[in-house]
Structure 1
C-alpha cells in the first residue's frame, strides 16, 4: 500500500496527528470534559506532553515494539492519550468495548496475547480482574480512576521521568506508514469476534478522504458520545484533531440532550437508534399541543414528508420556509442551534427520518462502511451531494463494484491488512484481485450514490422459495410510532413473522387519549393487552400493504422489553444478533408455525 503523500505533509502515522495540531492549530480546548458541573479543557500542548510522558513510562514498563496493549473504557480523554502513547513506542492498540460479555473479554485478551490493559472505572477493573485467571498472558491492569488494589495510569509518568525524550523520538521514527497500528475486534453477530488489523495508512487514508465531507475546522465544537473504541468514532477523532476542532465528551447517553444545549456543537455523530429516539420525543411533544399549534406542527411534518433533495418547486419551497420558521427552528434550538452536520452510521437510517431531518434544516449525513474498511466507503455530504435512501457517493480513492449476486466489493487504501490469526478468513474476505467482500447487497443510484439493500447473510428464503429482505422491512415498519424495535423471521417457513417491541411510552399516551387505562400496567401487561395487540395489528396491516404478498407479516408477538447489548440481543454497535435472538425466543418462534 502506498504511503500518503498529499496535503497531510508530515502526518504519516496516527500519532503524528496531535503533533500536527500543535504545530498548525494549537488549541486551548483540544479535549473538554465536564467535571463537577464545569467544562474543563485540555490544551493541545498538555495532551502531547502527557502522551510523551506516558510513552516513556511504557518503555520503562517493558512494553516492546509489536506488543498488543488493551484499552477498555468509556469515552474520556485518557483513552485518547493512551491511544497515542502506545502507538508512539511501536506497540499495537487493542480497543475493547466496555459492555461486552466476560466470555468475549477472555477470548479477545487471549487471542491478542494481552499483557497490559488500561481500563476506566472500578466496575470494569473488577470485571477484568475477575476473569484474569483465564488469561494466561495478562500481567498488569492500570486504571484511569484512582482505586485501591490497582495501579493508576499516571504512575507511568513517574516511572519514565528519567528516560530521555530522544528514546521516544527514535521509536517513533522506526514506525512506518504501512505498519500495523491497531487490532479492532468486530462485535460479531455470530461466533467469536474477529480481530481486524488496520495500519496507520488504512486509517489516515480515511481521515484524508473524509475531510471534505465533514464540515469541521479549527473553530468547530464537536460532541462525542458514540464509543471511541468503534472504528467510526475513532477515525473521526483523528479527523477532528487534524482539523484543529475542540472535542467535548458527553457525560453519558442520559445527559446528551443537556450536553448538546450546553456545548452547542457544530458536528456530532449518531446512530439511527438515537435519531429515532430524538424524533419520537419531538413527536410526543407535538401530540401534547392543542388547537392551532397542533395543526401547524403536523402540517409541517406533512410538508417534510414530501421533501426531496432534487426537483422541489417554488410552491413547495415556500411552504417549507414557513414550516422551518414556525416549527423546525425550535428543533434546531433543541440541538444547540449551530449544528452543521450530524454524521449517521453503523446501521441503516430510515429514509423517512432522513427526509424529515433534512427538510427541517438539520443535515443528517448518512454514510457506509465497515471496520475492515477503516471504516468509510461512501457518505452523503454537502459538497458531493445527498440522495435520501442512499449512503452517498464514494469517498476519494475508494473503488466499488457490484458482484453478480449483488454483493458490494471494495478496493482502496482503507481496506484492512487482514484478520489477526485468521489467514483463512482473510482469504475468504479479500480475493486474489484485492477486492474486499463486504457481505452487503447494494446498487448504484444515478451511477453515483451507493444504496444498501441488505446483508447478504441475512436475506432468507421462505419454504416457497421467495426471498425476504428483513432489514428493509424492519426499517419500514419502525416508521410506526407504535413500534420501537422489530425482528423479521421465517427462514424456510411458509411465511414471515415478527418479534415486535412496542413503544411503551407512546402506547401509554395513546391509551390515555383512547381512555384505555394502562397507567399502572407493567410492560408485560401492556404487551398482552388485546386492545394494544389489535392496534399494532392495524399498523402491521398498513405497512404490509407496501410489500409483496409473500413478504407480508402474517403473525407477530409483542416482547415486554427492549432488545439490548446487555441482554445479548444486540452488538455494541446496536446491530441485531439474529442467531442469538432466534435461540432466545425459540419457543415463541416455533409457535408462529405450529399453531
Structure 2
C-alpha cells in the first residue's frame, strides 16, 4: 500500500462487515461497518474533488473529535490533497494564520460558531473558496455550504487513490515555536503508514479490542490512533466531549484508551479527594489499599518476590477498592496508553495497583506522534519504553535525544532554515534530554529548550507570553511563566519599583513592596494586563493564576544570568512552594 486511502481500501476488502466506528446517537450508540465508512468516504471525496480538492492542495479541518472529522480527513486524503488540522479552541487570528500559511483553499468547520470565527477574518482568507460546515447553515453568498448538501461527483475514486504516492504530503500539523510563531509539520503518507505498522508489529492490540477515542484529532497523537485502527481493523467508539468521558467508559466498556496524563491525574485526584471528604473508615481502608498496592507494584518493578502475607492483603485491597475503580471504567480495560506529556510516576503506580496499567510512550509531532512505548509485559515506570521497530535513537553529547527513521517528518512547511536545524545530520533533534537504560528503554530527564508542555499535551512558549505581559503593564519588571508538565499555565510577577513607587505614592498606596504586592489595586493592574494577553491566546496558553513577588529577580540571587535572562530552574527551586500552591 502507498497511502492512507489505499490502507482504508485494503481494510474494507479484508473485513467489510466488521464494525469500524461507534458513535453517540439518540438511542445510545450507533455502529458503522468498514463498508459503510468506505461508501461515505468515496462520496465525500468525489464531492470535494469537484470543489477543487486534489494533488498539491490543502484542506483545513476546524472541528472537535467526532466521526465526521475522520470521514472528512479520509476523503480529503483520497483526493490527493493534504489535511491541515486546527484546534477548535484556536482564536480567529490563529486559525487564519494556519489556513493562510498552509495555503488551504477549503475549510471544513464544525458548526456555525466556528464559521463565525472564520467570517470575522474572511478578508484575511482570500485563498479560501469554500467553507463546509458540518452542523450549521449555508450562506447566501455561497462561501459557506453544508456537509449534508454535498453529493458524490462523477469522478474515478480508485484512480484518485492509485495516484497517491508514499512521499506525498498527507498532513500539516502546526506546533508552537519558542517565538510563538507556529510551524507547520509536514507528515507524509509513509510517515503515518510506518507508525501504524510499527504498532501492529509489536502486537499491542487486535480486532477483538474496542478502542475509545476522545483525544483531539487535531493533535498528532489522535491522528496516529486513527490510522492505527484502520491498519489493524480495531473498532473505535468516538466521542470528543471531555465531560462525557467518565459516563462513556461505563457504557462503551472499551478495552483500550489513550489519553494525555492530565486525564489520569484528574481521575486520581478526584478519587483521592472524594475519599478525603468521606473520611472515617472509608478513608482508612482506601489509604491502606493504596499503600498495599504501591508496595506490590514497586516489588514487581524491582523484580523481587512478593511475600505471601502481602499478596493476601493485596487480594483484599483489590476486592474492597480496586475492583470498584475498574468497574468505573467499564470493567474491560486491558491497558491505557499515555502520551503527549510526562506521566507522574505516583499516578502510574496507583493505576497499575488497580489493574489499570498505563503504557507511557513518547513521540513528537515531528516523529508522527509515536517513537517509543512501554510494552504490557515489561512496563517500567519513569521510562517511555523502547523504540518502535524501525525507529533509531541516539543520545547526543549534550544529552539531547535524536530520532531517525521513517516516522520523521519531511520538514517544516515553508521554513527551510528551521527544517535544516531540526533535521541536522539526518537526525531529528527533539529538544529533550534523556538517557537509555540497560534494556534500551528511554528515560526523559529534562527539556533542552525553554518551550513548555502542559500535562494536556499542548506546547506553550513562555518567553513569548512573558514579553507580552511585560509590554502590557509598565509596573512589571519580570514575568516567569510556568506550566511544564502541569495542567495549566501560571505566572510569577515581579515589580519595577522605580516605576511603581511614584504611582503608589500618588495613589496613597503602601510604599513597601511586601505590602504593595498584596494590595487589591496592584493586583488589579497586573491582572488587567494578563487578561489582555489571555484574550489573544488559545485557552491552553492562557495564564490561569499568578502571584506578585516581594523581591525582583536578580543576578545576585541566582535567578538571572549575567545577561539578565531568567534561570528557569533556579526560579522554580526558589519559588517552588508558591508554584505548587497554584495547583493544589
Name the TM-score, length of structure 1 as normaliser. Answer: 0.76
User: Is the contact made by 1:454 and 1:472 (CA closer than 8 Å) also made in structure 2?
Assistant: no
2:419 alignment partner in structure 1: 426
> In structure 1, how many angstroms separate the alpha carbons of the residues matched to 2:441 and 2:492?
30
Choose from 396, 401, 410 the match for 1:408: 401
CA contact (8 A) 2:6 2:162 kept: no
Q: What secondary structure, in the 3-state scheme, does the structure 1 residue paired with 2:394 have?
A: strand
The alpha-carbon deviation at position 199 of structure 1 amounts to 0.8
Q: Distance in 1 between matches of 2:536 and 2:337?
A: 25
Match of residue 240 from structure 1: 229
1:275 alignment counterpart? 264
1:441 aligns with 433
1:313 is aligned, of 305, 314, 318, to 305
Residue 169 of structure 1 and its aligned partner are, at CA, apart by 1.7
Q: Name the CA distance, whole Å, in 1 between partners of 2:30 and 2:90.
A: 30
Change (3 A) 1:171 1:459: closer
Check whether the contact 2:197–2:231 (CA below 8 A) recurs between aligned residues.
no
Pair 1:227 & 2:219 matched: no
Cα deviation, 1:430-470, whole Å, max 9, x if unaligned, reads: 013x111000111112241101112111399xxxxxxxxx9
Q: 1:330 aligns with which of 313, 324, 328?
A: 324
**Counterparts of 1:113 and 1:450, CA distance in 2:** 38
Equivalent residue, structure 1, for 2:501: none
Q: Find the residue that maps to 1:133 and give its secondary structure.
A: helix
Secondary structure of 2:171 counterpart: strand
**What is the match of residue 182 of structure 2?**
193
**Are the aligned partners of 1:25 and 1:218 in contact in 2 as well (CA < 8 Å)?**
no
Q: Does 1:210 align with 2:203?
A: no
d(CA) in 1 for partners of 2:318, 2:537: 36
Structure 2, unpaired ranges of 5+: 453-479, 495-517, 519-525, 558-584
Is contact 1:287-1:294 (8 Å) kept? yes
Q: Which residue of 2 aligns with 1:456?
A: 448
Task: State the partner residue of 1:12.
Answer: 2
Q: 1:392 to 1:135 in 2, by over 3 A?
A: same
**Residues 437-586 of structure 1 correspond to what in structure 2 (within 5 A)?**
437-458=429-450, 567=534
CA distance in 1, matches of 2:170, 2:184: 12
Task: Output one character per residue of 1:167-213: Cα deviation in whole Å (capped at 9) or x when no partner.
Answer: 22222211111221111111446421101011111111000112255
Tell me if structure 2 keeps the 8 A contact 1:189–1:571.
no
Among 173, 184, 205, the residue aligned to 2:173: 184
Shift in Å, 1:154: 3.3
Of 84, 90, 94, 1:104 maps to: 94
Separation in 2, partners of 1:248, 1:275? 19
- The 1:226/1:589 distance shift into structure 2, 3 A limit, reads farther
Residue 509 of structure 1 corresponds to none
Instruction: Check conservation: 1:27, 1:244, Cα contact below 8 A.
Output: no
Question: In structure 2, which of residues 116, 129, 133 is the aligned counterpart of residue 126 of structure 1?
Answer: 116
State the SS of the aligned residue for 1:185: strand
Query: How many aligned residue pairs are there?
Result: 488
Q: Distance in 2 between matches of 1:51 and 1:474?
A: 39
Paired position in structure 1 for 2:67: 77
Deviation at 1:254, TM superposition (A): 0.8
Distance 1:402 1:568 in 2: 40
Show structure 1 runs of 5+ residues with no match: 1-10, 461-469, 479-483, 492-527, 529-558
Cα distance per residue 1:236-295 (max 9 Å; x no partner): 111112222221122511111111111001111111111111111111222244544332
Once residues 60 and 277 of structure 1 are traced to their aligned partners in structure 2, the CA distance between those partners, rounded to angstroms, is 46
Match of 2:108, SS?
strand
Matched, 1:389 2:379: no
* Residues 481 and 492, structure 2, Cα contact 8 Å, conserved in 1: no
Cα RMSD (Å): 3.2
2:49 & 2:281 partners in 1: Cα distance?
A: 68
Listed one character per residue, the Cα deviations across residues 96-145 of structure 1 (whole Å, up to 9, x for unaligned) are 11111222112111111111111111111111121111122111101111
Tell me how far apart the structure 2 counterparts of residues 51 and 77 of structure 1 sit (CA, whole Å): 11
Deviation at 1:472, TM superposition (A): 12
CA distance in 2, matches of 1:23, 1:50: 15
The aligned residue for residue 370 of structure 2 is: 376
User: Does the CA contact (< 8 Å) of 2:213 and 2:240 recur in 1?
Assistant: no
Cα distance between partner residues in 2 of 1:414 and 1:568 = 36
Distance 1:184 1:70, change over 3 A: same
C-alpha distance 592-207 of structure 1, shift in aligned 2 (>3 A):
same
**87 and 473 in structure 1: CA distance in 2 versus 1, 3 angstrom threshold:** closer
Distance 1:63 1:486 in 2: 39
Q: Which residue of 1 aligns with 2:509?
A: none
1:29 Cα offset (Å): 3.2
Question: 2:79 maps to which residue?
Answer: 89
1:258 & 1:318 partners in 2: Cα distance?
32
In 1: Cα distance, 2:262 partner to 2:74 partner: 31
Q: Which runs of 4+ in 1 moved over 6 A?
A: 470-474, 488-491, 568-572
TM-score, normalised with respect to structure 2: 0.77
Three-state SS of the structure 2 residue aligned to 1:326 is helix
Q: CA deviation at 1:36?
A: 2.2
SS in 2 for 1:46: helix
Select which of 25, 33, 47 maps to 1:57: 47
**2:498 aligned residue:** none
Paired residue secondary structure (1:427): helix
